[in-house]
Amino acid sequence: MNDEARIVTLFGGARVPADSPLYADCMELGRLLGQAGFVVATGGYTGTMEATLRGAREAGAHTIGYTCATFERDFQPNRWVVEERKTRVLSTRIQRLAEESDAFLVVHGGLGTLAELALVWNMMLAGELAAKPLVVVGPEWPRVIDLVQAETQMGSSALRLLTLAATPQQAVTWLHTWLAARPGQ
């Protein structure tokens, strides 16, 4: 693994079948990240996590699965995980992902995905975590963000920390440009 490579973490759902359009989009996302020279990380299990790591591995990238003892009774790391970074509990897993990642991409998922997005986003807003790219990818996110903004006390400072991308290509292009403009960060 290249010591200079930046870790891009994907948050997304585990309940995504391999024959779905979202699985295909996540494979493409992983492939594009791998081709751009990023280390690609996920929670290391099924669905979008598997698809993203699969695309990255097929592109020759190093992959990391941030697994958790909480899930080991029901899940094993997928076969595309090269390096496993295991934690005991879920909160430590998210904290470690937040601290060790250089950027975050978020795709359609469930409650865990929303928790990961909300925690990382709030950590950046509170200054507990340095501002890093936080990109939500997919057509559902503008509606979700609009609803959250309308129904909470979220202000414009929070919105400035988030980037919306319609496609995997748009997300990776934006991410590569943002990180290239900030060498060493």
CA 164 from centre of chain: 13
Q: What percent of the chain has pLDDT over 70?
A: 96
- 2 within domain boundaries: no
In tens, the pLDDT along 108-143 reads 999 999 999 999 999 999 999 999 999 999 999 999
pLDDT at 2: 46
* pLDDT band of 152, cuts 50, 70, 90: very high
**Dihedral of CA 66/160/167/172: which sign?**
negative
Cα–Cα distance between 157 and 183 in angstroms, integer? 24
- 65 within domain boundaries: yes
pLDDT at 3: 45
- 29 within domain boundaries: yes
Average pLDDT over every residue of 97-115 = 96
pLDDT at 181: 80
Tokens of 21: 């359009």
In tens, the pLDDT along 3-27 reads 468 999 999 999 999 999 999 999 9
Domain of 172, in residue numbers? 7-180
Cα–Cα distance between 92 and 171 in angstroms, integer? 27
Tokens of 145: 């963000």
CATH number at residue 35: 3.40.50.450
* pLDDT band of 101, cuts 50, 70, 90: very high
- 18 within domain boundaries: yes
- 185 within domain boundaries: no
> How many separate domains does the chain show?
1
- 91 within domain boundaries: yes
- 1 within domain boundaries: no
* pLDDT band of 1, cuts 50, 70, 90: very low
- 31: exposed, middle or buried (Cβ count in 10 Å: 0-12, 13-18, 19+): buried
Average pLDDT over every residue of 96-106 = 97
Asked if residues 86 and 69 have their Cβ atoms less than 8 Å apart, the reply is yes
Q: Does position 163 have pLDDT exceeding 90, yes or no?
A: yes
- DSSP string over 109-126: --HHHHHHHHHHHHHHHH
Helix %, strand %, coil % for the chain, to 5?
45, 15, 40
- 36 within domain boundaries: yes
